[in-house]
Amino acid sequence: MSPGAEAQNEEAERLRPLFDAQLRFAEALSASTARPLADTCLEFTNLHRRFGLGRVGQGEASPQWARFADGLARCASQAERLDWTVAFFAAAPVQESATQRFGCFSYELAGEGDIVRIHFSSRDGDDVSPLAQAKVDRRLADLRAMFADIRDRHPGARTVRGGSWLYNLEAYRRLFPTAYAASVFTPERVRLDGTSSWGQLLDFRGSVKPAARQALLDALPTLDPAAPWTAFPLRALGAEAPIEAFHETYGC
Ligand SMILES: CC(C)(COP(=O)(O)OP(=O)(O)OC[C@H]1O[C@@H](n2cnc3c(N)ncnc32)[C@H](O)[C@@H]1OP(=O)(O)O)[C@@H](O)C(=O)NCCC(=O)NCCS
User: Same domain, yes or no, for 132 and 205?
Assistant: no
How far does residue 25's CA lie from ligand 1's centre (Å)? 22
**AA letter at 16:** R
Q: Whose CA is nearest to atom 1 of ligand 1?
A: 204
C-beta of 131 in contact with ligand 1 (< 6 A)? yes
Count of structural domains, the chain? 2
pLDDT, position 5: 84
Q: Do both 183 and 194 map to the same domain?
A: no
Mutate to test the pocket of ligand 1, among 131, 170, 196, 209 (most ligand atoms within 8 A of CB): 131
Helix axes 63-74, 78-91, angle to 10 degrees: 150
- Do residues 128 and 208 share a domain? no
Q: Are residues 155 and 244 in the same domain?
A: yes
| pLDDT in single tens digits along all 252 residues of the chain | 777 888 899 999 999 999 999 999 999 999 999 999 999 999 999 999 999 998 886 668 899 999 999 999 999 999 999 999 999 999 997 766 678 999 999 999 999 999 999 999 999 999 999 999 999 999 999 999 999 999 999 999 999 999 999 999 999 999 999 999 999 999 999 999 999 999 999 999 999 999 999 999 999 999 999 999 999 999 999 999 999 999 999 999
- Ligand 1 nearest-atom number relative to CA 164: 48
CA 41/CA 69 separation, integer angstroms: 9
Give the per-residue pLDDT at 56: 84
Which residues, in sequence order, are bridge partners of residue 163?
238
What's the confidence (pLDDT) of residue 96? 67
- 171 and 246 belong to one structural domain: yes
Q: Are residues 22 and 72 in the same domain?
A: yes
What atom in ligand 1 is closest to the CA of residue 198? Answer: 44
For residue 244, report the phi and psi dihedrals to the nearest 5 degrees: -60, -35
CA of 155 to the centre of ligand 1 (A): 32
Whether residues 43 and 146 share a domain: the answer is no
Please give the full DSSP string across 184-238, using - where no structure is assigned.
-B--S----SSSTTGGGGB-TTS-B-HHHHHHHHHHGGG--TTSGGGGSSS--EE
For residues 196 and 87, state if they share a domain.
yes
pLDDT at 159: 98
Q: Is residue 123 part of a domain?
A: yes
Same domain? 73 vs 153: no
Q: Is the CB of 162 under 6 A from ligand 1?
A: no
CB 129 within 8 A of CB 209: no
Q: Are residues 87 and 21 in the same domain?
A: yes
In the reported structure, the alpha carbon of residue 171 is separated from the centroid of ligand 1 by a whole-number distance in angstroms of 8
Q: Are residues 168 and 69 in the same domain?
A: no
How confident is the model at residue 218, as a pLDDT? 98
Indicate which residue's Cα is closest to atom 14 of ligand 1: 131
With a 6 A CB cut-off, is 197 part of the ligand 1 pocket?
Answer: no
Distance 200 CA to ligand 1 centre (A): 7
Instruction: Let me know whether 151 and 110 are in one domain.
Output: yes
Which protein residue has the closest C-alpha to ligand 1 atom 34? 171
- From the number of C-beta atoms within 10 Å of its C-beta (0-12, 13-18, 19+), residue 182 rates as exposed
Question: What's the domain range around 241?
Answer: 105-187+237-250
Q: Would you say the CB of residue 164 lies under 6 angstroms from ligand 1? A: yes
In-domain check, residue 84: yes
